[in-house]
């Protein structure tokens, strides 16, 4: 059975410090490049009929270091647009908005007035990605290289859950996850696998 393999990009200086990193094009740091290479070890030997990546450099570089080929950029795979909270940590945001959570509460607009995104907005993008890959999965495995919050929303929508339920699916940098089917039911087959800690991941049989 074909799988939709999700690769979260390696670490950046911003992700390591807990900053919300949406559309800012922050590069991988040294640890992130190492993580990306380990992700490559994890999926080496698998054949993907389609590899899609976010246009942001940290995702594209992860795909390259992981040894993935014939990359196609899909703008829908970009990270959540955090609006005016871009570059801030949750602790900093909660100084002004106690108890704030990205999943349930709004973000403030960018300085230029652009509104940022809600969970529903990100969910709509995730649905477009799922619609694109479903027909392709009939031919083989598909890989997506993207970002933590976006991939959590995508997994929730794959399972038929509201996008806000992505809050339940913690996802670290430099990890491998896989979505698939069991008796035609969409399921999670692997989640948040840290290649550095385990043997090479192989597709479920």
Residue positions annotated with a catalytic role: 9, 79
Separation CA 75–CA 23 (nearest Å)? 11
φ, ψ dihedrals at 119, nearest 5°:
-60, -35
φ, ψ dihedrals at 176, nearest 5°:
-120, 135
Q: Are 39 and 174 in contact (CB under 8 A)?
A: yes
**How many helices (H) and strands (E) would you count in the chain?**
6, 6
As a whole number of Å, the CA-based R_g of the chain is: 16
């Amino acid at each position: 059975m074909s799988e939709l393999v999700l690769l979260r990009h390696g670490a950046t200086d911003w992700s390591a410090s807990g900053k919300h990193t949406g559309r800012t094009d922050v590069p991988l740091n040294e640890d992130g490049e190492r993580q990306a290479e380990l992700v490559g070890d994890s999926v080496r030997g698998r054949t993907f009929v389609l590899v899609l990546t976010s246009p942001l450099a940290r995702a594209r570089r992860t795909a390259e270091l992981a040894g993935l080929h014939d990359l196609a950029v899909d703008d829908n795979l970009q990270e959540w647009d955090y609006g005016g909270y871009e570059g801030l940590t949750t602790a900093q945001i909660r100084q002004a908005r106690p108890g704030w959570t990205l999943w349930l509460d709004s973000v403030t607009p960018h300085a230029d007035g652009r509104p940022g995104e809600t969970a529903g907005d990100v969910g709509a993008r995730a649905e477009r990605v799922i619609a694109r890959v479903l027909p392709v999965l009939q031919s083989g495995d598909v890989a997506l290289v993207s970002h933590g919050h976006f991939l959590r929303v995508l997994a929730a929508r794959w399972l038929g859950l509201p996008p806000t339920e992505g809050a339940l699916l913690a996802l670290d940098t430099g990890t491998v996850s896989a979505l698939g089917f069991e008796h035609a039911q969409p399921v999670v087959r692997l989640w948040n696998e840290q290649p550095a800690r385990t043997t090479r991941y192989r597709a479920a049989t």
